[in-house]
Amino acid sequence: MTKKEKYLKIAENSLARMDNSYKYFPEEDTPLFVKGKGVRLYDPDGNEYFDMVSGYSALNQGHTHPKIVASLLNQANRLTHTSATLSDAKIELAAKLSKMSPIPDTLVHFDIGGARAVEGAKILVRAYTGKSKVISFTNSFHGRSTGSLSMYNADTFQHLFNVPRDYYQSNYPYCYRCPLGKEKSSCSFECMDSLKDLLENKHDIGGIIVEPALGARGYILPPEGFYKKLRRLCDEHGILLISDEIQMGLGRLGSMFACELYDTVPDIILLSKSLAGGMWPLSAILGRKEIMEIVRPGTLGSTFAGAPLACGVAITSLEVIENENLCERSEILGNYFKKELENRFSQNSMVANIDGMALAIGVEFNLPNGDPATEETKKIQHVGLKEGLLLQRGGPFKNIINMIPALNITREEINEFIDRFEQVVLKVENEYFQIIEENQMNDIKIERADNL
Ligand SMILES: Cc1ncc(COP(=O)(O)O)c(C=O)c1O
């Protein structure tokens, strides 16, 4: 029995299966790691894996970055937690974020994870506008608390658990498979008509919450001008624009704040994931002063929200992004990565579309008839793991492999990954065509037998 098998055996009788740990792989292959460094992960038996998931973008600075580890130890030796009091680290981090923020006069509120930041933003919308609902988008993901779940359009959650619907939903542009059948070259943002209708006809909408690119649902980018149009609509209707940059911020799209890439200033920005370098759960709501002063002290927060340990580590985590030019690296290496993928897979019959910006790239797989290759993409993820590649699968049809490595990945590591990924794709593809061929041969045999 391997060490990993021993661990999985213990987990069988001790670990509940409600999160993603058991979701993506066959039971016996459930990934399990004991060590990480840069873009590499190691299992208990010493096997190495190339990490293309980066803790869902919570590790933009890579695994166990030495400066962030040192900062964690330093803060742990000094002050970890106080709860309902201030700390030097909390004030310094707030000042840093406020100065960096594209929103004028930004005030910052801290919490302990993405979903709680989303909940906080929804409360601010209610308090500031007096309206109870927000508009969210199809295929978006904002977390798994009941408030954030209530905006998640996966039927499983809403129907199974009867989560109340406190949102309206509009189309997120998905130009490769436009739900309205439009072509990108000739479309006039018809996907936004439903949004405009909602704003004209419903009078309880206080805000729009939007991801700068679809994250959990496959790295799909909106067309140019989308964010600006949202800003204009929010201004016309006197409602708030919330940019959920929990996954796409902090360099993932090549800029500290993703909204800056779209030349748009939202009213509220949400950050989490890599904010504390993947070392400690921390989220931040950044908002205009008059919005952030609307609720009374004590309304938002939780015991560990903005703990000195988290804030101290976050200051260093942001410094690493700044000092190591991770935003620029993300843009330059992302362009390189995308181009190399396009070159390598230009003749491939299953790779249908490569979308993305900077180091947030989605590779979409189709069957020869143009249908989403959902099962084959699942196989690519499974075979990838067996070959030492940790891959994430997403997209509305679960046929996109998301590529979100640490932003300090090197060109050599990208080249190595593409070589290994190509082998995995070819293996799955060959198996697919072999099965098709065998089925065709069987059909011919049956036909011949019928004709005898
Ligand atoms: C865009 C976005 N918002 C919110 C969340 C929820 O964050 P958390 O899992 O920390 O609650 C996620 C998580 O993946 C996310 O990608």
> For residue 261, how far is its CA from the centre of ligand 1 (angstroms)?
20
Among protein residues, the one whose CA lies closest to atom 2 of ligand 1:
142
Q: Which among 141, 275, 282, 402 is the best mutation to test ligand 1's pocket, defined by most ligand atoms within 8 Å of the CB?
A: 141
CB atoms near residue 238 (< 10 Å): 9
CATH number at 66-323: 3.40.640.10
Query: Is 66-323 in the same CATH topology as 3-61+325-438?
Result: no
Residues with CB under 6 Å of ligand 1 are 56, 113-115, 118, 141-143, 211, 215-216, 244, 246-247, 272
> For residue 219, how far is its CA from the centre of ligand 1 (angstroms)?
14
pLDDT interval class at 447 (50, 70, 90):
confident
Residues 6+ apart with CB under 8 A from 433: none
Ligand 1 atom closest to 272 (CA): 10
Helix 326-345 and helix 308-323, axial crossing angle in degrees, nearest 10:
60
Query: Among 402, 449, 39, 441, which Cα is nearest to 219's?
Result: 402
pLDDT single digits (tens) 129-165: 999 999 999 889 998 887 777 776 655 566 566 777 7
Q: Is the pTM of this model over 0.85?
A: yes
- Per-domain residue ranges for the chain? 3-61+325-438, 66-323
* pLDDT for res 149: 72
- Intra-chain end-to-end CA distance of the chain, in Å: 54
May I ask the CATH class of domain 3-61+325-438? alpha beta
pLDDT single digits (tens) 153-211: 655 566 566 777 788 999 999 999 888 888 877 888 898 999 999 999 999 999 999 99
